[in-house]
Structure 1
């Protein structure tokens, strides 16, 4: 694998799950938990004649950013589309629960320095959602992960990172929305139902999955950023994600809470207002919403670089 310095400048979009995990924390600080040598594999796949991977398509471990312990969960989309089953779901839940326990210990031992030493959970999503080969176990994992998020709330940040090839779809789209902070590159995509499934069920007239520009306008990072469903939009390098994570790690818990999209009556009311607005407007394209929120020439936004986009894009006003 590349060195940490080589990884820093590498494309996040093209990186493997393990490269992302190593590069998102300080140099030489990452220790993998339940790695390939431990051979935790799905018990269900061999029964169905499907090959296994010794880490079940998910890298988990702990590193550091400054004084902050960082518990990393990184999904590998090359293995069954990054789908979630029993083993990798258990790894995900176990890592979050471990971070919560460490947070309690640090707060007890260093009460006056907790903010400076507070742990953080970072999840690099690359998944289509539930693994159909073991659907019940995968659905249970989704629920257990969101339950663990709730237990971590106001104790330590849970950060969603999306910028890999598969994107974040299916039930994991819900899970990503339930995190405290979302960081994306331009290639990142988040949604509930994947474009191909929409086309299959509703027809090409409803949604043309081969129209990549349409797909990115609908589920991509620029749309999520304008709609305030993405907190940070960064360049496509592992270093850019690392720097954004370092910034999040140093924020107060009150600041972290203010970056959430769901989780309070006020936020539910905001989301319901958006639903009503969409119902009234009946937009034909995401660009209709971009224009509504003050972007006079929305058609130019997809072609802008991230730096140019961040300078000119108008976002939905929260509150």
Structure 2
């Protein structure tokens, strides 16, 4: 196609959207700003790390185009590329706050986290999401999913947070790719060789008809520019993460023990009516529940024995002026893919209901209630129905609710006594402005299971484990995670399964200290860049990129 947008590379896409001779690249390839984490793994880096930032005019309006190059590492987000995106979004936010109207557009051609920099990718994506939510208070943030790679993984969660999502007929959108679902849940759950099934489920037609994307346009540069301009002019916003009641009502009508095809789901979606859902505070019960480290610590911190609510996988309760929230396993849950504590369709929307209610109740109060997230999430749910319905919207709803709460002045503190993995961690934990963790070897903190990561990166598990020796962000343990600089505190003398009286008191004290540390401080996520470990080593590349973007922004 003569004027195809899909066939362009990332840089060509960025400049094709800007008016002729108005575009200027920020931290272009001539600066050779490569990721420091790839060469130690014998991976050839790119001089722009796969992200292009172009400032210019779009139909005469000031615009910032952020274009992800899908041909480099599958468009995966690492430390440097993520920092470039976050810095550009935050400078755009700063301009808008100063009265300079500037419109951000993000071209999503991405598999999500760059698995070769796994935990850096998760941190960066959460920071991108935070910046987008802040920007939406001033201007619409428009997303384009052209095709080739599509929009997957943590960046699909980001796509749900954007104001308006434009696609071409060649686009696909999902949290978990078919190969990952097949690896985690089996070929009977999602056959990654069935291309028709993949396109029918994840492709543009289905996604637009079921609210996952907003508009499909021809693969033509002019048509895409017109669609972006119309979205800006009309201040379009799908409010995708503000529809928890709609989706919870929809889930009430679906039997997860029965098959569900694309047509059946479209029919259910079109007829669905939202009804109000309330998540009751947890209360004590006589019956023992499915055990987990998260449940144990929630119960000990709140004093609620055998805690239960009207939704068995989501617990919340107020204790000593703090709101504790946990996602827990339920071995008999009607959603099979969340029985081990995974964050699924219902969980994200329920968390959003809880948090949004608290923010609304406290909006006129000078002191905002602290939110304490007890984090023990082995992953997001892997399932065909989850992808068909749009699990990434559920996770985005939780992440957006936490980010809005923090930006409104609520201290958001994550306490990690268990696992913190992948989209589950993005939804429940990574929007916190302070993160506390136990120094327990049983804790896994990562972007993907070893088996799936090996399959996607085409390595053996042995090769994957060897790479973790050179790149702490790829490791699965909490001690290597500490090296990234994101933690407020790693508690050395408390173990995950030993919530004795002294241990509980110690954790309560650390939580109180973390809350106190947020007072009269910014409500963003910059704390992660400013800890001694982050400055000295963990986020050096991030801080250097942020400085460089700032220096070049108004040149």
Q: Same fold (TM over 0.5)?
A: yes
In 2 relative to 1, CA 207–40 (structure 1 residues): closer, same or farther, beyond 3 Å?
same
Residue 254 of structure 2: SS of its match in structure 1? Answer: helix
Asked if residue 12 in structure 1 is aligned to residue 2 in structure 2, the reply is no
CA distance in 1, matches of 2:165, 2:61: 19
From 253, 261, 268, give the equivalent of 1:277: 253
In structure 2, the residue matched to 1:233 is: 216
Q: How does 1:16-95 map to 2 (within 5 A)?
A: 16-95=9-88
From 172, 176, 190, give the equivalent of 1:193: 176
CA distance in 2, matches of 1:281, 1:288: 15
- Alpha-carbon offset, residue 231 of structure 1: 1.4
- Alpha-carbon offset, residue 211 of structure 1: 1.8
In 2 relative to 1, CA 56–187 (structure 1 residues): closer, same or farther, beyond 3 Å?
same
CA distance in 2, matches of 1:106, 1:68: 14
Residue 93 of structure 1: SS of its match in structure 2? Answer: helix
Higher relative contact order (CA 8 A, sep 6+): 1
CA distance in 1, matches of 2:270, 2:114: 40
Asked if residue 261 in structure 1 is aligned to residue 271 in structure 2, the reply is no
- Alpha-carbon offset, residue 219 of structure 1: 1.1
- Alpha-carbon offset, residue 282 of structure 1: 4.2
- Alpha-carbon offset, residue 261 of structure 1: 0.5
Residue ranges of structure 1 left out of the alignment (5+ in a row):
1-6, 108-117, 296-319
Q: How does 1:134-213 map to 2 (within 5 A)?
A: 134-213=117-196
The structure with more helix, counted as a fraction of residues? 1
In 2 relative to 1, CA 291–17 (structure 1 residues): closer, same or farther, beyond 3 Å?
same
Q: How does 1:91-110 map to 2 (within 5 A)?
A: 91-106=84-99
CA distance in 1, matches of 2:208, 2:175: 17
Q: Which moved more, 1:214-223 or 1:280-289?
A: 280-289
- Alpha-carbon offset, residue 18 of structure 1: 0.9
For residues 11-67 of structure 1, give each alpha carbon's deviation from its aligned partner in whole angstroms, at most 9, with x where no partner exists: 222221111111122222221111100111101111111111000011111121233
The total of aligned residue pairs comes to: 271
- Alpha-carbon offset, residue 293 of structure 1: 5.4
- Alpha-carbon offset, residue 292 of structure 1: 4.1
CA distance in 2, matches of 1:278, 1:237: 38
From 201, 207, 225, give the equivalent of 1:224: 207
For residues 70-120 of structure 1, give each alpha carbon's deviation from its aligned partner in whole angstroms, at most 9, with x where no partner exists: 11111111111111000000010011111111212235xxxxxxxxxx321
Asked if residue 244 in structure 1 is aligned to residue 265 in structure 2, the reply is no
The answer as to whether partners of 2:15 and 2:54 remain within 8 angstroms in 1 is: no
In 2 relative to 1, CA 122–283 (structure 1 residues): closer, same or farther, beyond 3 Å?
farther
- Alpha-carbon offset, residue 215 of structure 1: 0.7
- The two structures, once aligned, show a CA RMSD in angstroms of 1.9
CA distance in 2, matches of 1:83, 1:162: 15
In structure 2, the residue matched to 1:314 is: none
CA distance in 2, matches of 1:98, 1:294: 40
